[in-house]
Chains A and B, each alone.
Chain A
Amino acid sequence: MNGFSRRDMLRAGAVGSAVMASQALASPLNGTRMLPAEMDRDVFAAAIKELRSIVGNDWVFADAQSTVSYNKSFIPDPEGLYLPSGAVAPASVEEVQAILKVANKYKLPMWPVSTGKNMGYGMATPASNGQMVLDLKRMNRIIEVDPDLGTALVEPGVTYQDMHDYLEKHNLPFWLDVPTVGPIVSMLGNTLERGVGYTPYGDHFMFQCGMEVVLPDGSILKTGMGSVKNSTTWQAFKWGYGPYLDGLFTQSNFGIVTKLGMWLMPKPPVYKPFMVRHPDADDIGKITDTIRPFRMNNLIPNGVLIMGAAYQLAMFHRREEFWSEEGSIPDDVVKKAAAKNGLGMWNTYFALYGTDEIIAATEPIIRGAFEASGGEVLTEEDMGDSPWFHHHATLMRGGMSLEEIGIVRWRGNGGGMVAFAPVAPAKGEEPKAQTVLAKEIMGKYNFDYAPAYAVGGRELHHIIFLMFDKSDPEQEKRAAQCMEEMITRFGEKGWCAYRSSISTMDLVADQYGDTNRQVNARLKRTLDPNNIIAPGKQGIG
């Protein structure tokens, strides 16, 4: 019912070959749209030639056909503003240095990606047309895992799956912390975006320790203790000496990060996952106020997810199963469908880690507080084989899953999704007001509000995945407009995103104010005078 039929596959194959055949003739050298702005075609061709001499012909992708995998993204791009000119894939730090030399010489902008799976934020596509993707996936070594300290040093291409397999193979007693899409995404890429996961190590940048960065002029910086001769503490101590530099290379375009240190969580003897079910849409305030003290005193140690019912349904179901109207799916329809599946309007997932004694002491305190807020506290025994419970229980121990990708096809086969992730303080009234505002704006554009709140220490990331059908040009345009209005109106209330899709980077950067933008611009001019690394990233350059 929800899949594609064999006939669909055959049709797609036929269309695909036709498209690919015609694309093969259309080298980007024949058109200007995919080239960097103001770059002469011959200059581009000369740069490509030099890049080929660095990485070999197989690892430069400079025609429409071979670049096709780099173009795919879920976000709305109705005007075709975010297409790369091609891609180059180095295998070593030395090759990265040589590529940057060429980029400087020809002023060819490079958009670095580690695995390029920045889903909902632009995937591998650049913030403006014609940038060349610097695909670091081939640099995929797990350089070091220290079994005493539980630290790891990895290259950009290492996925969470790779590290998971490594820990299993070597029987190392550590857990990973994964975003919900762990198997195919990069530990380094996710951490540079300041991504989140759901164990006690959920704030990835907090648990990062030491970087190696190739600066735009080709010099190599090791942050923290990494620059000390004979250092044995690079992955053990974050702060080093003097200004702390690592933050400059997250969500930025000041350098190419080629190594990243991370801390791994010791595997606890006992792990117990919970779900708390709340029945009503406006319970979000009560839930937030209940969790806050437990996150502050660490009785609940993990990155808690408060999942809206529509988000949960979208993981494993399609909209048409519940609602066939064009307008937003009403709360009562969502509520009924959720109840049928053992879900509430909000489903809060937290876990306890430690020993039986520790958990036995903590559980009643937390249970009592949630029950007082009107929630039902449920365990694995209560939830049986609920795929939702199983999914979140997997995440809260750093397990591998891609089930949430299901939400991207909620609205139709075309698949479309763009993320807006404003931050709210962990005080009930504010997420409650954010939910009301998001619903109002999304309702105006006929989209469904399918939220998740990821709870940090004292704040919530309000994850609003706007789901649309990208094969419908009108919907795609509407999605872009809706996103712009949401960002603008949330911003007026002082609620800004922690991260942004490439399509809204300037808009969000403006909300952080002129001085902030100017400081970033000054740093950019100093470190990257030719503006060759990811111009436009986070509104910089």
Chain B
Amino acid sequence: MAQVPVRPVRGGLPAFLVLAGSGIAGGVLLASCSAPANGTATPREPEVIYDTTCGYCHGHNVGPIIRGRQLPAETIEFFVRNGSGAMPAFKPTEISPQELSALSEWISTSKADSTEHGQ
């Protein structure tokens, strides 16, 4: 019977989900995902953030392709924090300053992904 494909997830899991404390506890409850709150947790890898946020629009019919274009990192940071047109702004509580600087650098220097498509 028809089963629609899940969008491929290219990266891993957000850091706070893979930290200690997960698993079946006593066979009843999954123990809490008791990682520290965002910002004090281990920063997520740029690929993970790209896959779980940016990549849903950019290169996916909605936003322009931004990989493989050597866009300046500071411009990327500006767009993320300010938003632009239809793009919402992302706050320091969503993408920490440290994560943003690594993400911008990664996008800026990343190769084009041939599976991405424009609008």
Residues of A within 8 A of B (CB): 1-4, 6, 9-10, 12-13, 16-17, 20, 58-59, 61, 66, 68-72, 74, 87, 89, 91-92, 115-117, 119, 123-124, 135, 137-148, 157, 161-162, 165-166, 169-170, 172, 183-184, 270-273, 315-318, 356, 359, 379-381, 387, 390, 393-394, 397, 399-403, 405-406, 408-409, 412-415, 417, 470-471
Contact = CB atoms under 8 A, between A and B. Distances in A.
B29 A273 contact: no
B22 A169 contact: yes
Interface in B74-103: 74-75, 78-79, 81-94
B38 A415 contact: no
Nearest to A148: B28
B57 A405 contact: yes
Nearest to B78: A16
A406 B75 contact: no
A271 B1 contact: yes
24 contacts: A4-B84, A9-B71, A10-B72, A12-B79, A13-B72, A58-B39, A69-B83, A89-B92, A138-B39, A140-B16, A141-B32, A142-B17, A142-B32, A144-B29, A165-B52, A183-B53, A272-B2, A380-B2, A400-B56, A403-B60, A403-B62, A405-B62, A406-B61, A415-B86
Nearest to A379: B2
B56 A141 contact: no
The 9 A-B pairs of least Cβ separation, nearest first, read: A3-B64, A415-B85, A13-B75, A408-B86, A72-B89, A137-B93, A402-B56, A415-B86, A409-B86
Contact of B86 (A273, A401, A405): A405
Given A141-B33, A143-B33, A406-B119, A413 B85 contact: yes
A55 to B, nearest CB: 10
Contact of B13 (A87, A117, A146, A169): A169
Contact of B1 (A318, A359, A408): A359
A157 B33 CA distance: 13
Given A2-B118, A12-B79, A69-B81, A381 B32 contact: no
A166 B15 CA distance: 11
A300 B13 CA distance: 34
Given A142-B33, A405-B86, A272 B1 contact: yes
A405 B60 CA distance: 11
Q: Which DSSP category, helix, strand, loop or mixed, fits chain B's interface?
A: loop
B78 A135 contact: no
Contacts of A408: 85-86
B2 A138 contact: no
A72 B3 CA distance: 38
A91 B36 CA distance: 9
Given A16-B75, A400-B7, A471-B85, 4 more contacts: A72-B83, A162-B17, A273-B2, A379-B2
Contact of A166 (B17, B56, B61): B17
Contact of A399 (B7, B37, B60): B7
A16 B38 contact: no
Nearest to B39: A138
A243 B107 CA distance: 53
B33 to A, nearest CB: 4
Q: Which of B35, B40, B69, B85 has the most CB of A within 10 A?
A: B85
A399 B3 CA distance: 12
Contact of A143 (B32, B61, B85): B32
A12 to B, nearest CB: 7
Interface string B27-61: 01111111111111000000000001100110011
Nearest to A138: B37
B39 A59 contact: yes
Contact of A89 (B2, B30, B31, B93): B93
Nearest to B48: A165
A526 to B, nearest CB: 32
A89 B96 CA distance: 12
